[in-house]
Amino acid sequence: MWLQMQESVAENQSLKPANETLSCTESSDQGLGGPPELTELYRTFSVNNLGLLWTAKAFLPSMARRNHGHFLIVASQAGYLATAGIVDYAATKAAAIAIYEGLQTEMKHVHKAPAVRVSCISPSAVNAKMFAGIKGSSNFILPRLTPDDVGSLIAETLWGGEAKNVLTPAFAYISAPTPVLPEWLRVGMQDGGADIMTEITPHKPVN
């Protein structure tokens, strides 16, 4: 049913004039607060990854045909640097980043639609119910974001008209190169934040 609704909306959007900007933002967050049960794992990957792919399938073809539009994915800093307590969530956000990278190059080289912008925003922890119980680091070093902070960044990116890959706040960029760091350094960075998410108790919006 959800996929049919997406396809219906996408078809309606495709009727708009070619000079009218079409943007689509996909933001799915499910899976914090482990260890998860098997059904919870299915739900996490279904919402955060399959939902993202279905949204792309519904909206990107019409953008590609017109070589016009902006598709924005909201991932997470956890997609670059996983930590204890949110392994399943971090895995889905790493996949979301891979989907962003793949869609961006496919629009340009496979669909010959270089003017379709594909962007990705990866926030750190947001001061919202889903992060209840997080053990925050110094607010000066890694300030807790608000929903308005993330929303404003999404709006700025879409209105800016350029494809971007953004981590926020600025200190979050330290996570991006960790996969290629020497093992002792990567593990040391993970050890430094090993207990940040271990007592997280988010609400369950779909229960």
Q: Which residues are catalytic?
A: 89
Residue with the two structure tokens 């392994």: 87
Report yes or no: 191 and 83 within 8 Å, Cβ to Cβ: no
Both structure tokens of 160? 């800016």
Q: Is the dihedral of CA 1, 50, 79, 191 positive or negative?
A: positive
What is the rounded CA–CA span in Å between residue 195 and residue 94? 20
By DSSP bridging, strand 69-74 and strand 116-123 are parallel
Query: Sheet of 69-74: strands edge to edge?
Result: 23-27, 69-74, 116-123, 165-168
